[in-house]
Amino acid sequence: MKSGEPPRLETNCIFCKILRGEIPCFKVHEDDDILAFMDINPIAPGHVLVIPKHHSKDILVTPAEWVGKAFAGAGRIAQAVQKTLNPDGINVVQANGPGAKQSVFHLHVHVIPRTMDDGLTMNWDLVPGDMDAIGKLAERIAANVE
């Protein structure tokens, strides 16, 4: 999609069906670009999903314009979650592909309120890596930035 083209929706995508009003949701916010609604399989109370009003399966194929709109919306929703629940922290998570546990193939951003010692397992321990290997991999990735 080129900038300025109208957003597109897919027939069989569950999130596109929610956008069209064919499936109900617990709406938190909606504007011209995004819809934010409660996750009905929440990992924590207050777990909100933010989706762009454009169907693309993940961040790898979504036009930058729509990625930006989704993350800007996630920022606004995170502020509302903070004001409402005053959690100890908030995770903003975006998964791509089955290996990352993406379950709906329409770009979406999770806004997840966190409390200390809530038992959620998406955190990792800080373990220093091999600085030479990290540097070499950084160079390889940098060579592929377009």
Reported as half-sphere exposure (CB side, CA atoms, 13 A), residue 95 has a value of 14
Dist CA 113 CA 59 (whole Å): 22
Sheet with 27-30, strands from edge to edge, namely: 27-30, 34-38, 48-52, 109-114, 89-93
Q: Which residues contact 101 (CB under 8 A, 6 or more apart)?
A: 95
Tokens at 136, concatenated: 């070499």
Per DSSP (E only), the strands in 24-139 are 27-30, 34-38, 48-52, 89-93, 109-114
Catalytic residues: 108
**Cα torsion through 100, 10, 7, 25, rounded to 10:** -70
